[in-house]
Structure 1
Amino acid sequence: MQSAPVLEAQHLTLRYPGSSSPVLADFDFALAPGEIVSVLGPSGVGKSSLLRVLAGLQAPSAGTVRLEQAPLREVHPRVAIAFQNPGLLPWLTLERNVAFGLDFKRQPLLSREERQIRVDAAIAEVGLSHARKLHPAALSGGMAQRTAIARCLARKPRVLLLDEPLGALDEVTRGEMQRLLLKVVADFRTATVIITHDIDEALLLSDRVILLGGTPAREIGQWCIDLPKPREDYIAEVGAVRIEILTTLRQAVRQH
């Protein structure tokens, strides 16, 4: 029996004030527990706008978003979001930056012991227990991004939304972070949406890839990647899907 979606959007439309056309139009989406979905598309197509709506940071002009079958109309403690910029507070240690996420709006009230258990577990999950007393200025780019993910995990989210989280990292660090994300999702069973420009990254990490295109943005392609992870040993199979995605994207750009 298929699990009910943990996050679902129906007929989403988003129009900004003063705009002649919507950014998104009649977009449907469903995210299963533990699933990783990557959203691809050209720059400016509306990927980040979509993520903001799914996070409850932006109200849609029409349509609905539901979290565990309940309407999502604002930020929710079970939905965590991380951006390309880790957004760490420079005057706080790594440990206190992770704990800071527990003070966000509508977070459940926790005892000091419960908070510490959550923070310790999140820091350990991303492999930074040795650096917990460091300040952001002493962290590498990869460590800062791990800290941002730990801040999300401390909230025990059902849904993790990532907006170009690895875009500013070098290739080696990016590979390490990709492996970390797979581990985090496997350990926490956190349903995850990744916004990325990197087709290869999407193919390596995702159970499903959605391609946005057009004005207003719509889904112009979707691929289920039914291959074991990690996928470095499935070059031919992944390469075939990559060609399909590139072909669809190029056709959409020409039509536009």
Structure 2
Amino acid sequence: MSVPVLSAEGIALSYPGAPAPVLEGFDLAIQPGEVVAILGPSGAGKSSLLRVLGGLQRPSVGTVRMGGTVLEDVHPRLAVAFQDPCLLPWLTLEANVAFGLDFKRQPPVSPAERRLRVDAAIAEVGLGHARHLPPSALSGGMAQRTALARCLARKPEVLLLDEPFGALDEVTRAEMQDLLLKVVADFGTAALLVTHDIDEALLVADRVVLIGGAPARQVASWTLDLPRPRRDEVATLGALRIDILKALRGAVRHH
């Protein structure tokens, strides 16, 4: 195994005044190019975990590393996408993608490099025809593609995704899942996907991690060795889905 591109060791997170920690004793290591899905009951701390892993919030205990370097703040090669695309309404699609290059701690790039990155990111998500449109003219799927392109323009080593497809219809959601896998294949980017959808986790992830309990910690994990695409692997995925659902129900009872 190579050095994990992102790792967490002994992570705990407490909020002032809270009766108990949100997270405790959490460990995780993500390899380059790996897709890891995080499942868990509502309120189990999935989004809190993602904020810690993204450098947006420091853990109360434990260490997060990007490669071999301790992560103490946001990192230029680590990008986060949320369920809300968070597009700026006064900017065009193209300008919203470029805006990611101005984020905190993002190394400056030349105008020529900036143009190359933005063009490549927009082409990757298939929105070249819409680059001059405002966010108000975009569908939900197009807005999420734009948010993903904004991440890609930064050339991240890791994508952290907090239920980014949860508000989309089934067809658009499937398209976005396929796009995520294309991005991982084309860019070699690792991805951590927080989702409440077992089927989504089974379709896209190399590994599924279930968190639960109070405070939350890893309670189970599954490695998927099936090749993609997996939409036709009904029998194999169905048996695994039942196992995960049983574990998830157990996590809910103990949450």
Structure 1 residue aligned with 2:218: 219
Cα distance in 1 between the residues matched to 2:206 and 2:67: 20
Q: Give the CA deviation at 1:134.
A: 0.3
1:238 aligns to what SS in structure 2? helix
Question: 1: distance between equivalents of 2:179 and 2:167?
Answer: 16
Task: Return the offset for 1:20.
Answer: 1.4
Which residue pairs with 2:99 in the alignment?
A: 100
Secondary structure in 2 matching 1:186: helix
Distance 1:4 1:49 in 2: 25
Q: CA deviation at 1:91?
A: 0.3
Give the TM-score, by structure 2 length.
0.99
Unaligned runs of 5+ residues in structure 1 are none
- Map 1:120-139; keep pairs closer than 5 Å: 120-139=119-138
Kindly provide the amino acid, as one letter, of the partner of residue 4 in structure 1. Answer: V
* 1:127-179 deviation line (CA, Å, top 9, x unaligned): 00110000000000000000000000000000000000000000110011111
Say if 1:110 and 1:241 are closer, same or farther in 2 by CA, change over 3 A.
same
The Cα offsets for residues 27-70 of structure 1, whole Å up to 9 and x where unpaired, read as 00000000000000011000000000000000000000000110
Query: Partners of 1:101 and 1:255 in 2: how far apart?
Result: 40
TM (normalized to structure 1)?
Answer: 0.98
**Cα distance in structure 2, aligned partners of 1:28 and 1:255:** 20
The residue type equivalent to 1:18 in the other structure is: G
Q: Offset at 1:247?
A: 0.8
Counterpart CA distance in 1 for 2:132 and 2:139 is: 14
Q: Structure 2: which 5+ runs fail to align?
A: none
- For 1:57-206, what aligned pairs fall within 5 Å after superposition? 57-206=56-205
> For the residues of structure 2 that align with 1:107 and 1:238, how far apart are their CA atoms?
40
Cα distance in 2 for residues equivalent to 1:107 and 1:182: 25
Q: Please tell me the residue identity of whatever aligns with 1:213.
A: G
Q: Deviations over 1:190-240 (max 9, x none)?
A: 000000000000000000000011100011110001100110121111111
Question: What is the root-mean-square deviation in Å for CA atoms of aligned residues?
Answer: 0.7
- Asked whether 1:3 is paired with 2:26, we answer no
Letter of the 1:53 partner, please give it. Answer: V
Q: Which moved more, 1:197-206 or 1:232-241?
A: 232-241
Q: Which runs of 4+ in 1 moved over 6 A?
A: none
The alignment partner of 1:110 has SS state of coil
Deviations 1:77-103 (A, max 9, x none): 000000000000000000000000000
Q: How many residues align?
A: 255
Contact 2:212 2:254 in 1 (8 A): no
